[in-house]
Amino acid sequence: MPLLTKGRYQARLAETDGDIAAAQALRTRAFRTAQPDRDAFDEICSHVLVHEGRNGALVCCFRMLVLEGGAELPRSYSAQFYDLSGLQSFDGRMVEMGRFCIDPDWHDPDILRVAWGAMTRFVDENEIAMLFGCSSFAGIETAQYLDAFAMLKYRHLGPKRWSPRVKAPDVFRFGARLRRKPDAKKAMLHMPPLLRSYLLMGGWVSDHAVVDRKMNSLHVFTGLEIGAIPAARKRLLRAVAG
């Protein structure tokens, strides 16, 4: 049973080992990893696959880990890189979205819309109160992203009571180090599409980026309280999800 069908795309949950293998293969291509992109979290997550309807091509995938509340955060992928002790007091079901990727040969913006529609339906059906994950910038050099990080610092840092603390050995502390005012055009040009979507819905980020050499990326912890999404944005999401 598909989670969502919109236009030429269909989103569904993985049902077989072959489905998960297909998602891992797409991730390997999209993230350009030397080794197959798979880990132990694949076994405990639900996987969403987005297919093109005419030829069945897998064009997008991501995985979700449902947690009953903040006390279960140590089980998450993000907890490897961030001290999430502040968020452990969060009362409500949470879902960690990870390994989000779109086939690099496909550039249709409807793919991202369908993916968010599927996530919206999953969040509503499972009474999720917070969505979180790691939002990644390609590469580990910070220079081209300074305006984007400055915008995150001045407009989108998370609540102090929940803000992740440093845990990883190699981080870029943009919250403390950057003094520049962001050029909005340059900032949005270099903001990853997934993170841009989070921010439009009222999402917030950590004050530092983890330098992940294994994945060749800089990533920031990103949180989104479902109750804080603006009403107009919720209507748009549910229009797609419906």
25-55 burial code (b ≥16 CB/10 A, e <16): ebbbebbeeeeebbeebbeebebbbbbbeee
CB 71 within 8 A of CB 98: no
Show me where the domains of the chain are located.
4-241
Nearest to 92 by CA among 60, 118, 58, 126: 126
144-170 burial code (b ≥16 CB/10 A, e <16): ebbbbbbbbbeebebeeebbbeebeee
CB 222 within 8 A of CB 174: no
- The residues that bridge with 220 in the sheet, in sequence order, are 135
What number is the average pLDDT over the span 121-135?
95
* Whether residue 2 has pLDDT greater than 80: no
Tokens 């479902």 appear where? 226
pLDDT band at 242 (very low <50, low <70, confident <90, very high): confident
3-state secondary structure of 132: strand
CB 45 within 8 A of CB 98: yes
Q: What percent of the chain has pLDDT over 70?
A: 100
- C-alpha dist (Å) from residue 27 to 11, 177, 192: 16, 33, 16
Give this prediction's pTM: 0.94
CATH number of 4-241: 3.40.630.30
The one-letter amino acid code at 12 reads R
pLDDT digits (tens, 9 = 90+) for 59-91: 999 999 999 999 999 999 999 999 999 999 999
- The mean of the pLDDT values for the chain is 95
